[in-house]
Every structure is written in C-alpha cells, then in structure tokens.
Structure 1
Amino acid sequence: MRNPQKNKLIIGISGASGTIYGVRLLELLRALPDSQKIETHLIMSRAAEITLAHETDFKVRDVEKLADMVHANKDIGAAVASGSFRTMGMIIAPCSVKSLAEIATGVTDTLLSRAADVILKERRRLVCMVRETPLHSGHLRNMLALSDMGAIIAPPVPAFYAKPDSIADMVDHSLGRVLDLFDIDLGTVRRWKDDAAPGA
C-alpha cells in the first residue's frame, strides 16, 4: 500500500524577512511531475502576510494558489494540528524568532506553532529556516532547545561557492539544501564533485 505520509508536507510561512523562501518553496514543489507529487499544506501567519506585501509583488491569494491545501493560522482544529494526520514533516520558511520561541517553549496558540509541535512529538522532520541577525542568547537557547527536541535549524545562509548570479539563485540553492533533508532533489543545488578542492 502507498504510504500516505510520504506525499504530504506542511509549509509554514512566518513573519520574518524572507517570505520569498516560502513562496519559492511552494513554486518548486508545485512544479514536480505527477510521479513525484507532494501535497503541500500551507499555513501563513498574519505577520507573514504583512511582510509579503512589503517584500514582494505577490498577493496572499497568489501564494495560497500555489498550495494544495491552505489552513488559517487561527484554525487550531485543522487536520495538521493532529498527530493522526500523517505527513513527512514541516518546513517553516522563513521562521521568525517569535515562532521559534513559541515552538521551543510549547506555547502553541497558533496553528503554525501547533503543527510544528505535533511534528516534533510524532518524531517527524521539522526544519526551521530561522531568519534573524544578530542573535542574542535567548534566540540561541531557543534554537538549542529545538535542536535537542529533534528539529533541524537551517538558516538560509548563501553558499557563495555555487557562484550565484542572482538572489533567485541563492534562494533556490538554500531551498534545495533544505529539501535534501527530505530526500527531495529538484536540481537546484550546485553540488561539490568528487574532484572538489581540498577542504570542500
């Protein structure tokens, strides 16, 4: 029988700068061929909607159309709030330090943080693309707490060895590395070859 969790992925977009990471992630997953189709479940915070308007030309409805399912952040009764809803995991792109703190402390009063909490308790993969700098000790403690609980902290740090020609190249490379964590290869990562320079 087909494993129902293997083709479902929760995408959270919080209010940190870098909403393009979440938007582009949805675009990349939507472009997968039917044989590799992944059902995306989108949760956007209200702060994410505001940041989206400041940083991009996308409208909220444009982003929602990229997802297979959209869940309101205030809908705590949504399917993704239950451990019985089987998925391969969740990516929060970007992840604000507010969302980070909610998840790390278990104060999950929004669907985004509740869904992430469920992913952790069910021992599924949670990847947080934390977008903040500089970081104070509270931020670092929350990241450590989440890492100790099994989450992967993956700040979208540009890989300059890939010699990107544009911001879009950097975004795609970062997302490709995050999707590697789910064994999804979209061909957006320029990888080191066997003859890479020493120390690579």
Structure 2
Amino acid sequence: MTNHQNRPSTVNLAFTGASGAQYGLRLLQCLVSAGCRVNVMVSRAAQVVIATETDLKLPGTPPAMQETLSAYAGAEPGQVLVFGREDWFAPPASGSGERAPLVVCPCSTGTLSALATGASNNLIERAGDVALKERRPLILVPREAPFSEVHLENMLKLTRMGAVIMPASPGFYHKPQSVEDLVDFIVARILDHLNLPQDLMPRWGEARAEDKRMG
C-alpha cells in the first residue's frame, strides 16, 4: 500500500540519449494519470532517440514540445511543463525550488558520468546535482549492455550518494505478452519507488496474499 502523505504532487522527468525512450514516454503518461504535474527536460540526443524508436516526433522548441507531449500524455493544461536545456530559472535548477523527485528515464551513460562527477553543463545535469545535494529522490534508469568498469563505478558512486539505479531490465515472472508489458514492468517499479499508485502489474506476493484472505 502507498502512503498518501508521501506522494509527490510534482515529478521532474528527464529524457536523455540512451535507448529505451518508450520507458520514459510511458512513465509520462502514468504520472499524468496519477495527477502529478511533470517538469520535463529533453536532451538533444533524446530527441533523436525518440524519433528513431517511436512514431513521436518532438518539435525543436520547448513550447511546441510541451504541446506535443501534453497531447501525447492526455495532460490537463499546465500539467506538463517542458524546460529548455539552459533554462536556469526552471524549478529543478535550484534547491530552493519545489521539492520534487527526479527520474532520468532513460539515463545515458554520459549522464551517469556527469552526475557522478558533479557536472552541471545543462539543466538535466544541474537538476541531478540539485537532487543529490538536497537529498531528494533520484531514480536513474540506464539502458546499456554490457556495462564497462567506468559505468559500474559511476553507478556505485551514485548509489552511495543516495540515488536509485534501476536498469531497464524487465522481469518475466508476470508472463508478459507484449513489448508494452515489458515496458510496464519497469514503469511500475518506478511508480512504486515514487510512492504513486499503479495497476500496471501486481506486486510480488499480492495474489498469494489475496488467496490466503479468501481462504
């Protein structure tokens, strides 16, 4: 069960240039459905990946991108906000902004490196730096194979700083029937970590517990 008091009203969501754009886009839909306001940041490489892996073509400017992503997610006006790569006045850019978790999904290994070393060369990197220094929830969803020693060292370093590393490695015990089921597996885990309700897949043991209650 989720604790209603700890549910975030706002979530910062960053798309970077790793494969796996479907995870981030599905997460955006679910965050909107959960009633969250979503501050979105999209790297240049992420725009290329989204265009390559999906039928969604993102415009080049934040206002046009905001309109496209809002329509895609079925958002209410103002529910999805898109900020430019160097918009230093965006809420995620400062510790005095709204206290919101950050999810980087998918997370490129370049972004992992930048966050592990404290680089703040763009808004996504700065948002990650803020999440770490303010001890806010930070969920990173890398999608790479195999991982090099550099990647693993960066993930270990970030884990020790408090970040959650959640590789896009879906399980199969829920007997997926489609690619969408595999995507939903990871998105459900992210939503669980954000303390947001989800019905994408049952949690481990729920069916057994229900059987015991009915019995």
TM value normalised by structure 1: 0.89
Selected match of 2:14 from 12, 15, 25: 12
Shift of 1:64: 5.3
Can you list the C-alpha shifts for 1:134-158, whole angstroms capped at 9, x where unaligned?
0110000100110011000000111
Selected match of 1:77 from 67, 72, 89: 89
Partner residue of 1:177? 189
User: Match of 1:16, as an amino acid?
Assistant: A
User: Aligned partners of 1:142 and 1:77: how far apart in 2?
Assistant: 28
Range with greater deviation from structure 2 (145-154 or 183-192): 183-192
Selected match of 2:36 from 35, 38, 56: 38
Partner residue of 2:49? 51
5 Å-filtered alignment, 1:100-179, equals 100-179=112-191
Selected match of 2:69 from 63, 69, 76: 63
Counterpart contact for 1:11–1:42, Cα < 8 Å: yes
User: Match of 2:50, as an amino acid?
Assistant: L
Could you say what secondary structure the match of 2:139 adopts? strand
Counterpart contact for 1:19–1:48, Cα < 8 Å: yes
Counterpart contact for 2:101–2:131, Cα < 8 Å: yes
For structure 1, which runs of at least 5 residues remain unmatched after alignment? none
Counterpart contact for 1:9–1:87, Cα < 8 Å: no
Structure 1 moving runs of 4+ over 6 Å: none
User: Aligned partners of 1:146 and 1:126: how far apart in 2?
Assistant: 10
User: Aligned partners of 1:55 and 1:75: how far apart in 2?
Assistant: 27
User: Aligned partners of 1:111 and 1:174: how far apart in 2?
Assistant: 25
User: Match of 1:115, as an amino acid?
Assistant: A
Partner residue of 1:88? 100
Range with greater deviation from structure 2 (178-187 or 64-73): 64-73
Can you list the C-alpha shifts for 1:21-70, whole angstroms capped at 9, x where unaligned?
111111111123xxxx2110000000000111111001213335446111
Q: How many residues align?
A: 190
TM value normalised by structure 2: 0.83
